[in-house]
Structure 1
Amino acid sequence: MPLPPLLPRLCAATVLSALMVAAGCSNAPPADTRSPPPPATPAADAAAPWAALLPPPVLLLGEQHDAPDHQRLQREAVAALGARGALSAVVLEMAEAGHGTQGLPRDAGETAVRAALAWNDAAWPWERYGPVVMEAVRAGVPVLGGNLPRARMRDAMRDPAWDARVPPDVLRRQIAAMDAGHCGLLPSSQWPGMARIQIARDASLARAAADARRPGQAVLLIAGAEHVRRDLGIPLHWDGSVRSRVAIARARSTTEPLPEGAADTVLPTPALPPTDRCAALRK
């Protein structure tokens, strides 16, 4: 599948270079019985300065869901890592845990891939994420759902045990984020339950990524920026055996600063046109 036009000032090598610099070196998980990855191709070695940083850990790539440049960046990262044989899996927020493309051939059609992932086009438009998914499939890399299944969300909302899965200050910030994210339109009685769902989703994504690790390769986890934040999301649910690095794509029009330590690197992308999200919600 041909690659789309490169992002302004951000080619695939630059994307991967930034991810690898964010990644650094890590301890690989215990060896398994899989054969080692194929050697890198000469074209994939164009970004040789970061090659010495391999093997990478889990790489979390955060996005803004309505920023097309972010999905284009993701595809470039998948293509570059896949060309090196350095990608063990792509884990997605956009598909539920328990679904994946393992076992599908590289030439599988989009219909088969969508069925394998139980893709919900109403929530996650395939036209936006399909190119990312198919880039991985064509490279022979499994794409795995990581999100909490919808059938389990009601139980998570009612389970106060999730409140203790994160530090108290994180729980308070999650509740505040629920209010802000719903533009103050969500009844306060629903804040704790919605925060529990968010925490449970982070834990599900963390488990899927940890289980997908392979020696000498990277797991690329793609999710919303809030999910990947080191101070708030998925990294809080790993023990010391999982080494991860966080890269967050941010449109230049985004004005809210990231807290210090929330990410290892920020990948700037072109500004987005102004939108009033709250006006749409009020309608």
Structure 2
Amino acid sequence: MSLSLSLRRLAAVLVLPLAAAACASLPPPVAQALPADVLLLGEQHDVAAHQERHRETVAGLAAQGRLAALALEMAEVGRSTAGLQRDASEAAVREALRWNDEGWPWQAYGPAVMAAVRAGVPVLGANLPRKDMRGAMVDAGLDGRLPEAELAAQRQAIRDGHCGLLPQAQIAPMARIQIARDIAMARTLAQAARPGRTVVLLAGSGHVDEQLGVPRHLPSALRWRAIRWPADPGQPARDYCAQLREQMPPRR
């Protein structure tokens, strides 16, 4: 075998992994948003197409070696898969994250989570722990974390999100919980950021709002991009307010 032929074959072997990474599929909005230190993906929680885009994004960035970490609204701060091996079972991953399947169906989010684990990338809980929520509700200092106009908009979003069914006295405390959650997610992202790679957050659409949500609390040095997936036109409209009225107890 000639030296030139051997060199060409060696070059082909070295190029194959690079080509595979380059061809890794990313949803077009994600590809257009990169490069970024932090990528915030905002979903509607019951739209399966949104979770499929999560999986595509995580798998694509992991294949390219560009995924620093996957952060989740669906798990609390302090939960992590960092101590697990790539071949960890789904049961072990769920245990590490203290996964609540009633709130967050594993079949919806498991594919994105496991894509990160299989790539050796840590999955991090980013949401405010439940034990801290009561404290957040009475922490008036959280009101000052948003400018006055944005705070009013956040409170209105809480009213609208609960279909006008919340008593007025609960609006400010619920808005504080939302702000505290956004702060917790922003801190998790900042701590996980790595030069030249991207931390991905999966969260509800409201949390990635550029004016009211997580971006408001990120360090200015981080380059971030937020994508709010559009509604799925193929999914029939649901009357969320009717469902909420059935779930909420009547006012007294």
223-232 or 150-159, larger mean C-alpha shift: 223-232
**Are 1:23 and 2:3 an aligned pair?**
no
Q: Look at both structures and tell me which one has the larger radius of gyration over its CA atoms.
A: 2
Q: Does the 8 A contact of 1:12 with 1:77 survive in 2?
A: no
Which residue identity is paired with 2:86? R
Q: Tell me if 1:194 matches 2:188.
A: no
- Contact 2:24/2:63, CA 8 A, preserved across alignment: no
Q: How does 1:70-219 map to 2 (within 5 A)?
A: 70-219=50-199
Question: Where in structure 1 do 4 or more consecutive aligned residues deviate above 4 Å?
Answer: none
For 2:199, the aligned partner's letter is V
Cα deviation, residue 170, structure 1: 1.1
Structure 1 residue 184 displacement after superposition: 1.0
Kept in 1: contact 2:43–2:50 (CA 8 A): yes
State the alpha-carbon separation in 2 of the partners of residues 208 and 129 from structure 1. Answer: 19
Q: Note if contact 2:44-2:205 (Cα within 8 Å) is conserved in structure 1.
A: yes
Partner of 2:236: helix, strand, or coil?
Answer: coil
1:281 aligns with 2:208: no
Give the whole-Å Cα distance in 1 for the aligned partners of 2:172 and 2:132. 16
Distance 1:14 1:112, change over 3 A: closer
Measured against aligned partners, the alpha-carbon deviations of 1:206-225 in whole angstroms (never above 9, x if no partner) come to: 00001001121110111111
Aligned amino acid, residue 25 of structure 2: A
Unaligned runs of 5+ in 1: 1-10, 25-55, 254-270
Which residues of structure 2 form unaligned runs of 5+?
Answer: 1-22, 247-252
Give the TM-score of the pair, scaled to structure 2. Answer: 0.86
Kindly indicate whether the alpha-carbon contact (under 8 Å) linking 2:190 and 2:219 is maintained by their aligned counterparts in 1.
no
CA 229–139 in structure 1, closer or farther in 2 if over 3 Å, else same: same
After superposition, give the CA deviation of every residue in 1:152-211 in whole Å (9 maximum; x if it has no partner): 000000110000011111110111111111111110100000000000000000000010
Deviation at 1:272, TM superposition (A): 1.7
Structure with the higher helix share, 1 or 2:
2
Q: In 1, Cα distance between the equivalents of 2:108 and 2:25? A: 22
Q: 2: CA distance between counterparts of 1:231 and 1:23? A: 20
> Structure 1 residue 22: deviation in Å?
1.7
What is the RMSD of the two structures over their aligned residues, measured on CA atoms?
1.4
Conserved 8 A contact 1:63-1:224 = yes
1:265 is matched with which residue?
Answer: none
SS of structure 1 residue aligned to 2:70: strand
Q: Quick check: 1:248 aligned with 2:211?
A: no
Ranked by relative contact order (alpha carbons within 8 Å, sequence separation 6 or more), the top structure is: 2
How far apart, CA to CA, are the structure 1 residues paired with 2:117 and 2:215? 26
* Identical amino acids, percent of aligned pairs: 54
